[in-house]
Structure 1
Amino acid sequence: MKISITALTKAFMVTAFSSAILMTTAYANNPPPTIKADAPNRYIVKKGDTLWDISGRYLDSPWRWTEIWATNKQIKNPNLIYPDDILILCVIQGKTLIGVDTGEGCAGVERQLTGDVVATAVAVTSTVNSIPAIPRSAIGHWLDKTLIVNPADFNTTPYILASKKGNLVTASGDKVYAKGVPLIVGQRYGVYREGQQYVDPKSQRVIGLEVTQVATGMVTSVASNGVSSLELTDSYDKEVREGDRVFVELNNSIPPVFYPEPATVNRGGMIVRVMDSISSAAKGSVVAINLGRTQGAKPGDVLTIYKQGALVRDTIDNDMPVRLPNEPSGMLMVFNTFSDISYAYILSSDLPLNVGDKLLPPPYL
């Protein structure tokens, strides 16, 4: 009566790996993406729209947006869309495409697409105020000051020993002291708080440690015993505490603009944490997944979420337990990647989503 979890996991991983390997071939042989029957011929972009919202207005498979988007060859950032842009649906050279109306209708979109326009130089457009792929307000906390680092490296860094005021609550302008490897006078450092440790569900290997930057400080002096003095220059809504770690500020390099596309990861994955201390995720939630840069994940990657099928009893076969097939229950988009972990935003969900739900790239059909 005992179901083999190992066997189920192996079967899933083989399927995931095969899907990833065949991705390029499937794409090359696939028909064009399906335009929705009720797709608007003309749509005025509004403030608050996201690229995923707009993609979903036109396509049954929103992650295939770039395949129908008519890019302007005279613009360095051709995929940017802004509030008040007028999007029009056109058939150009036998293909249904979406472009920005510059006043000439589909004829103007075709000229921009084919390069038949007069231009003395390639125009560079700003990403400021452009339409994001997903709401920035929902992911801001996980973009700015939260990182995943190697726990072994983190534990070797200097730590806050005390503050000049003798208390734990410190703010900009306060002085704190760090013990450990002497820091460099005049150098700017970040102060980081230890957070959740991530363990891969399959290998049980520690794959990352979440840390949050709570302050920034400048080293003013180093004593003969190696204790470094730092003057805090910035704090980020949290107090500095004894035991917080000090090291050079890490660059959390997120592209200013990214676009939804099917993930090309080298294996399947799963949700390993629902952020903000809630038990289940839904549309608009942020989750951590066990796919990172090592597995080929990148910002903009879209993955389908599969909930494990229910365990039912077969009343015809002596009440033997039978696991029903996994079913697609939602989609997510990666927005921040680290070595073996990524943060992702839930784009859609039919059911509450939980830790352990499986992930695969979406099908092209």
Structure 2
Amino acid sequence: EPQIFMVSARQALRAKLAAPAGAAVEPVVWSASQFEPLERFIRDTLDETERLRLKLLNPLGVAAKLRDQYAQVTQARLEILADDFATIDAVEADLTAFEEDMRRDVQFHLSQVDNTLYQMGDRGYLFIDEWLRINRLLDLMNSAKVREGFEHEVVADTPAQIERQVGDMIDWMVEREYKQWQAVMDYLNRRADLHKDRVIGEIGGSFELNRREFLEAVRRATTRAVGGFDQKAEAAKLAESVQTALTQTALVEVGAIGLGAVLVAAVHTLVLDLTGLLFAGTMAALGLYVLPNRRRKAREELRANVADLQERLHSALSMQFEKELTRSIQEIREAVEPYTRFIRNEREKLTAISQDLTSIEQETRTLQARIAALQSD
């Protein structure tokens, strides 16, 4: 059964440091430390090699204990950072899915606009077939009547339909952006609630404090974004951007006020082009042999004009959608970036510390093995 010595190393050290001149120790303090029996036991029991081995192994044991403490804290912090990275990865994956879903779903809204224009084109073909007849020559000579008939029968409520569809697309996009901000905020709120009571350790400074400060800063940014998100105002800004995009693509001349006015002006340009063609062709030559050729040319012209209008409108809406989508995603990434940068830097620093501690462990074990192998003389 091992012999146990109850000693005070602190008092023993104090006794030796406070020893009067000519004495090895201060006797009162030395006696209180109860260190004398331990020293006597070591001298009587252990040979010189064993005493040397014990003396050398003692600081290595202290070093090993400190290394284990640092390693435990470092590993705990790395585990938390791993969870933080999982959160960032989840946010990034959600943003990627959001981007893919938005690009896919916007095609539905664009196809509605396309269908409205195609339906107007179909009505235009019927109008041409109905009006370009020999019994409508007198009507065709009245350009105002042709234009009025075309606007009533072909154009009808096309601008209003397209304006409504574009408005629906804008509202859909703004709502999706708002929900995406909410999703990011929910991710961060759940992350902040984890490990809040977990002791990370005090070794090496204010890791948890800094981490929480960055996390809270991102949470505040997302909370402000969600709380201050005025869907009506955002929709109005986006509608204005779409209107600007339409004018910049030469769909209409600058000056139309409001998205609806832009669309009306665009379709009205098509009306003038086509009715001008019908009237000019009819006045140039009246006759049965001219009408079939004029009808064919009018249909081709209508098809080309509708296709051009569809392409310009589609291009303007797609361009503005991409700009808005890119801006929205970039704002979210910029809000999260300080948190991402912090955990990335911390992981690099802690990984380096972990590697150093592993090296220290290996060196300590090597020294312990060499000391244990010392032979008695």
Q: Name the TM tier (shorter chain).
A: under 0.3
Higher relative contact order, structure no. (Cα contacts within 8 Å, ≥ 6 residues apart): 2
Greater helix content: 2
The alignment's TM-score, normalised by the length of structure 2, stands at 0.18
The alignment's TM-score, normalised by the length of structure 1, stands at 0.18
